[in-house]
Copies of this chain bind each other. A is one copy, B any other.
Amino acid sequence: MLLSGGLDSSTVLSMAIAGGFKAYALSFDYNQRHRIELESARKVAASLGVEEHLIVKFDLSEVAVSALTSDMEVPRRKVEHPGAGDETAGSTVLQSGIPVTYVPARNTIFLSFALAWAEVLEAEEIFIGANAIDYSGYPDCRPEYLEAYEKMANLATKASVEGAIHFRINAPLISMKKADIIRKGTELGLDYSLTWSCYDPQKKDEKDKGGAVCRPCGGCDSCVLRRKGFAEAGVPDPLMQ
């Protein structure tokens, strides 16, 4: 199970565990500017009771420049009415509709480590929180990509070539709306206050003594999608209380 600590992957983890799976969570410390998400991943993994949680560390900024792995500015959307529809992404996207927060080959790298670990664990089911509806437009979140990855994975490993395992890439959120994802997780008792979505964490006022050191920016793609999702689900976001 790829677990970023965000809303989507945390929901998938709660769904897999509710479905009776023994879950092994895999996160990555890839020098992302929102590394705070790893704290959320730890909390979510612990609260849901995974068998094991591994954090693999490498510096993706060496090979892959992105607004998420560099000092490049993370674009903010101007949102006058939080919760209102704001489907057009304005300046946050490139000409193709793929935003500057896109990280080259990120899911391909993440799934490859998951594949290695799955083979060792003799685990057939790999879960990823990819979503192709209320998402940021990343190419490696689309069903056709995930299908091609699965085909490749089954040609790549000893366990699959020997016929011991047929790997499946499961993306149960792929065609769900953000609001439905939140309703599902809420129904399963997932504590969304543990999750983290913001790409551009802001330092809290030092005078603020309570709790987390960071607060969400509220304006990046990920914050906007989260806020819209909670609003549509009719559920308050516990992170914003």
Contacts and interface: CB of A to CB of B under 8 A. Distances in A.
Contacts of A113: 63, 105, 109
Nearest to A154: B148
A103 to B, nearest CB: 8
A153 interface: yes
Interface in A130-159: 139-140, 142, 144-145, 148-149, 151-153, 155-158
Contacts of A104: 115-117, 119-120, 157-158
A98 interface: yes
Nearest to A148: B152
B63 A54 contact: yes
A220 to B, nearest CB: 18
Contact of A63 (B26, B139, B142): B26
A64 interface: yes
A241 interface: no
Interface in A91-126: 94-96, 98, 102-109, 112-113, 115-117, 119-120
A56 interface: yes
A117 B158 contact: no
Given A62-B56, A152-B149, A105 B116 contact: yes
Contact of A148 (B95, B96, B151): B151
B105 A109 contact: no
A120 B64 contact: yes
Contact of A139 (B59, B103, B161): B161
Nearest to A103: B116
Interface in A48-76: 54, 56-60, 62-65
